[in-house]
Chains A and B, each alone.
Chain A
Amino acid sequence: MLEEQGFESIPDSDAILSQERVQEITYDGRIRVSTKAWVLRIVALTGIAVTLVLNLHQGLKLGDPLVVYSTLMPTHELVVFAIGWLFYRCRASGLVTNELVSVIIPIFNQVEMIETVIDAIYKSTYEHIEVIAVNDGSSDGTKEILDELVYAYPGLRVIHKENEGKRKAVATGFYASKGRYIVLIDSDSVIDINAIEEFIKTFSANIKVGGVVGNGKVWNAGTNFLTKCQDVWYDYAYNIHKTTESVFGCVLCCSGCLAAYRREAIEEYIPYWIQARIHNSDDRDLTSYALATPWAKRELAPLKQKLMESMALYDDAEDRGLTAQTLVEWETVYVPSAVVYTDVPETLGKYLRQQIRWKKGYVRSNFYVSAFFWRKNPLMALLFYTEFMTTFTAPLIIFIIYFYGPFIIHNYWIPITYVTGQVLIGLTAGLDYKFRYKNTRHWMYKPFMNVFASVVLSWLILPALWTYRKNRWLTR
């Protein structure tokens, strides 16, 4: 995309923000789509439902040993699509108050982008902000750039500290901040000018909302095949999957590229969170904490503390951990109108390392969340536990589909049916992307990405479990 627009290296914030950016939100909070999209959606939902019923009927009739599993998977897809498409409403409908917002940027070796990132923050339409850039011992010249930026942006606070990981960088910024709302932005993410304002509107409209996540877009999507695939994958993750989670007030991961929390939703957790030994998914940890149930709250002294102490031992789920914290007694929601542009790995090696890191954080965070999530909305719980379960069973399923089925029991329909299903689901999600962002040319990569995710990414649970004690700062 950037190459098509003439970019050769890191663009400035104006160039990034000039991309097609915001989905139109209707007066009642829906993401506006064309009639064509609704036709596609109805056809897709009907198709999945019919397939589900036929599969169940045939499976029971023929005594298919995989009937339960093969029914659960399309049920999951049906629920995700149906809830997200039919029931999602953006909650950014409140007043724009004048509360101080603290924007915290944990930074490590980000010499290329940091100026662009900070510049975009200062272009925000919401102006009552304090920006705290925490340099976590960068050694690539980031420190010098930050020191210069202080002069360009007088309100910018820069904190230099020794390298201790993302969590402690965030915590340092947190303790230095004064705002009622905390906005966390990754140092490679460029926020849209309306993003903070949309967050404020969401918090002011809903006193139960403790965490908010923005709409992650890939700014380097046009670089190569891999980034195009990630672009369409991000769209599914945010504009279909997170919309569904948001309907239940249970977005499980307020992603680190752009998330916001009420101070009171996470402040008790920060002391435990920063004790993490391993840094992989800080945002998920925070979100998970926020979402936990009243049971966790009632057990507060021994339980909440132990939960947080346990989760904070590792730093591979920093975002999920923060989210989990919020889940204890708050809702976490998705705001599609708060757009953030982030960059994604451009080589397969980096991408796989990122995925392994995310997978580690996912497993670790959900280990704790699974203890209470069954008390949430049954449909949301079904989605959560199905996805958690699939993370572990996926390698075996892939083995059955591509090897055991065709070569041992000579059932060639298993891989044919599975790949067809993956492609059709991918096509549906891809076309939905196309209908929401009419200029995108990456929608067609979604079917491939679905197959790639099942064939390749599902195996990453094995190296993730094998190396879960290793600790790295993002993909760098």
Chain B
Amino acid sequence: MNIVKAGVISTSIVIILGFAMITPLFINIPTKTPQNILLFFYITDDSNVTDWCHDLSILLDEKGFRATIFFSGIIAEQHPECVTFFDEGIDIGSQTYSYTNLTSIDDYTRQLEEIQKGKQFVDDAGNLESRLFRVPIGYTDENIYSLLSRSGILADFSYKTHYNKFHDGQFLLFNTTFIDGLTISSSTLRNIDNPSIIFFDNSIPVMIIRNALSHLISSNTRFINASDLTGLELIIRNGEDP
């Protein structure tokens, strides 16, 4: 082959290869990763449950937020209408029956009963099957995995630094961050992990929650519920098959 032709070919290959390594950057312009936020609501005070849940459901519906709310069995038993306020897009979780510290109960059977009974009342109140859980008061231990798997729970949000997802007969750990809703400010979105869980309890007036949530709304924010996060169907409504 003529050396000039060989030079043209080799130089062309060099140049084409060089630019071929770079051009994907321009072809696949990365879209900014959306900031996933999970809104968690806990019922810890039984004094204003119905009004608070009603106002909250209106707020979430009005904004189109997907969220997750946890009830204890006794609240669901006493205020079943509260569970029904929350419809599509809102995951319902349980928190034992009597909202008690699970680790303070010595007997495993009684612990299991607390969880299963709490779940049962939530399920009955909402005519659904709830498969997500969070311990009351934040106290838990290693027994939790055995208790939850025996109670039909698929996702556990009991810890402050991670959540557990049931997969292939065991709970797998995934990191996340819990943020107190009262600490939210206009700079929160710039400093939080992705995903982050922002929680409120019913001691906080819905008006304050509304103001707090306004800081989180941006074109890049995506509000997701526990089912979206885990990729599991954590709520089956109206007796639908899982």
Are A and B physically bound partners? yes
- The reply to whether B32 and A410 form a contact with Cβ atoms under 8 Å apart is yes
The smallest beta-carbon distance between B28 and chain A, in angstroms, is 6
B207 located at the interface, meaning its Cβ lies under 8 Å from any Cβ of chain A in the complex: no
**Chain A contact residues, majority secondary structure:** helix
Report the nearest A residue to B27, measured CB to CB: A65
The smallest beta-carbon distance between B84 and chain A, in angstroms, is 44
Which stretch of B12-20, B71-79, B143-151 is in the interface? B12-20
- Count contacts on A: residues with CB < 8 A to the other chain: 31
- Cα distance A368–B28 when bound, in Å? 35
- The reply to whether A409 and B14 form a contact with Cβ atoms under 8 Å apart is no
Report the nearest A residue to B8, measured CB to CB: A367
B7 located at the interface, meaning its Cβ lies under 8 Å from any Cβ of chain A in the complex: yes
Which stretch of A31-39, A90-98, A173-181, A302-310 is in the interface? A302-310
Partner of A66, one of B8, B10, B22: B22
Using Cβ atoms and an 8 Å threshold, which residues of chain B touch A374? 10
- Cα distance A72–B27 when bound, in Å? 20
- The reply to whether A393 and B22 form a contact with Cβ atoms under 8 Å apart is yes
Which stretch of A277-285, A382-390, A416-424 is in the interface? A382-390
- Cα distance A385–B24 when bound, in Å? 21
- The reply to whether B24 and A371 form a contact with Cβ atoms under 8 Å apart is no
- Cα distance A73–B139 when bound, in Å? 52
* Total A-B contacts with CB atoms under 8 angstroms apart: 69
A60 located at the interface, meaning its Cβ lies under 8 Å from any Cβ of chain B in the complex: no
| Known contacts A66-B22, A69-B21, A389-B17, A306 near B10 by CB under 8 Å | no
The smallest beta-carbon distance between B10 and chain A, in angstroms, is 4
B11 located at the interface, meaning its Cβ lies under 8 Å from any Cβ of chain A in the complex: yes
The smallest beta-carbon distance between B165 and chain A, in angstroms, is 21
- The reply to whether B18 and A400 form a contact with Cβ atoms under 8 Å apart is no
- The reply to whether A409 and B30 form a contact with Cβ atoms under 8 Å apart is yes
**Chain B contact residues, majority secondary structure:** helix
Question: Which residues 175-216 of B have a CB within 8 angstroms of A?
Answer: none
Using Cβ atoms and an 8 Å threshold, which residues of chain A touch B3? 296, 299, 303, 306-307, 310, 368, 371
Using Cβ atoms and an 8 Å threshold, which residues of chain B touch A370? 7, 10-11, 14
- Cα distance A388–B12 when bound, in Å? 11
| Known contacts A392-B15, A410-B32, A371 near B21 by CB under 8 Å | no
A145 located at the interface, meaning its Cβ lies under 8 Å from any Cβ of chain B in the complex: no
A237 located at the interface, meaning its Cβ lies under 8 Å from any Cβ of chain B in the complex: no
- The reply to whether B22 and A371 form a contact with Cβ atoms under 8 Å apart is no
A397 located at the interface, meaning its Cβ lies under 8 Å from any Cβ of chain B in the complex: yes
Question: Which residues 283-309 of A have a CB within 8 angstroms of B?
Answer: 296, 299, 302-303, 306-307
- The reply to whether A392 and B18 form a contact with Cβ atoms under 8 Å apart is yes
- Cα distance A299–B21 when bound, in Å? 34
Instruction: Name A residues whose Cβ lies closer than 8 Å to a Cβ of B.
Output: 65-66, 68-69, 72, 296, 299, 302-303, 306-307, 310, 366-368, 370-372, 374, 385, 388-390, 392-393, 396-397, 400, 404, 409-410
Further pairs besides A66-B22, A390-B18, A393-B15: 10, Cβ < 8 Å: A65-B24, A68-B21, A69-B21, A306-B3, A367-B7, A370-B11, A371-B6, A385-B14, A389-B14, A392-B14
